[in-house]
């Protein structure tokens, strides 16, 4: 069926993606009937129907395309999503405000010398694999800043991800346009009073795993996990530009600001 023309806009070809839940699948069928549907590769805009998990997967899957992504909440939390409404979608898209975010680039080497690479939109986390706490050495731009951190883990968060795992670990909320990264420990034991650091988003961060045979550590970049790492390098990938679209008054920047005031 042809696309609706309830408002002129630049997003003529739309691709609708579902998280796979019955609620999201039903919504996709109704929206496709109303507005048409093309393959994501051919779309002017990708409309994601689900929760924040689907939004992260969609951003990862189409990271290199430059296509704007507009989410509508058919999940639970939906922090990254707009409210679900079937009518007036083209008008909403035409009036939507873009948020440009950059992901983290993670390069890791495990104890066997195997190398891994992945992007993270929210955070990169190093986590202990066993009952033994992790021991980590932290270097920033090649300079040792913490010779030994004894902890359950540590994470590096983008501003966009600062309200996710980072906030749960008592890390700071970062304004979306701030040129910063949050380095946040997870249940640190020593140094006892160390609560993390704010770093410029041009920083190159290296985490070295101490006593890796006795205290194995995994690294997780959003949903990609690699185990038994020896060291991990993390930096922001300024060459990757991801565009999220949000309704006026509900931009990602506004939502992050609201989180700081508890609503």
For the annotated catalytic residues, the residue numbers are: 52
CA distance 181 to 93: 30
According to the annotation, is 134 in a ligand binding site? no
To the question of whether residue 165 is assigned a binding role by annotation, the answer is yes
Task: Check the annotation: does 61 bind a ligand.
Answer: no
Other beta carbons less than 10 A from residue 36's beta carbon: 16
Is 65 marked as a binding-site residue? Answer: no
How far from each other are the two terminal CA atoms of the chain, in whole angstroms? 41
User: Is 215 annotated to bind ligand?
Assistant: no
- Residues 124, 128, 133, 137, CA torsion sign: negative
- How many angstroms separate the CA atoms of 238 and 108, rounded? 19
Q: Is residue 41 left, alpha or beta, with left meaning phi > 0 and alpha meaning psi from -120 to 50?
A: alpha
252 marked as binding residue: no
207 forms beta bridges with 138, 232
Q: Is 57 annotated as a binding residue?
A: yes
Is residue 95 a known part of a binding site?
Answer: no
Known binding residues are 52-53, 57, 122-123, 152, 160, 163-168
Known binding residues for NAD(+) are 52-53, 57, 122-123, 152, 160, 163-168
């Amino acid at each position: 069926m042809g696309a609706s023309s309830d408002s002129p806009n630049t997003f003529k070809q739309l691709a609708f993606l579902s998280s796979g839940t019955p609620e999201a699948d039903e919504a996709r069928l109704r929206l496709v009937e109303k507005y048409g549907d093309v393959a994501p590769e051919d779309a002017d805009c990708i409309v994601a129907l689900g929760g924040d998990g689907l939004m992260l997967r969609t951003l990862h899957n189409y990271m290199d395309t430059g296509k704007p992504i507009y989410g509508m909440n058919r999940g639970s939390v939906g922090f990254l999503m707009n409210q679900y409404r079937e009518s007036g979608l083209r008008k909403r898209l035409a009036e939507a405000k873009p948020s440009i975010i950059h992901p983290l680039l993670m390069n890791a080497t495990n104890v066997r010398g195997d190398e891994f690479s992945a992007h993270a939109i929210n955070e990169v986390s190093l986590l202990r694999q066993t009952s033994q706490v992790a021991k980590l050495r932290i270097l920033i731009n090649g300079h040792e800043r913490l010779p030994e951190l004894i902890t359950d883990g540590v994470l590096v968060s983008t501003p966009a991800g600062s309200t996710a795992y980072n906030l749960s670990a008592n890390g700071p909320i970062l304004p979306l346009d701030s040129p910063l990264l949050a380095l946040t420990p997870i249940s640190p034991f020593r140094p006892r009073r160390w609560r993390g650091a704010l770093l410029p988003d041009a920083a190159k961060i290296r985490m070295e795993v101490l006593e890796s045979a006795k205290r194995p550590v995994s690294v997780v970049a959003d949903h990609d996990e690699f185990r038994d790492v020896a060291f991990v390098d993390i930096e922001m990938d300024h060459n990757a530009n991801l565009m999220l679209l949000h309704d006026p008054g509900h931009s990602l920047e506004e939502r992050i600001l609201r989180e700081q005031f508890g609503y």
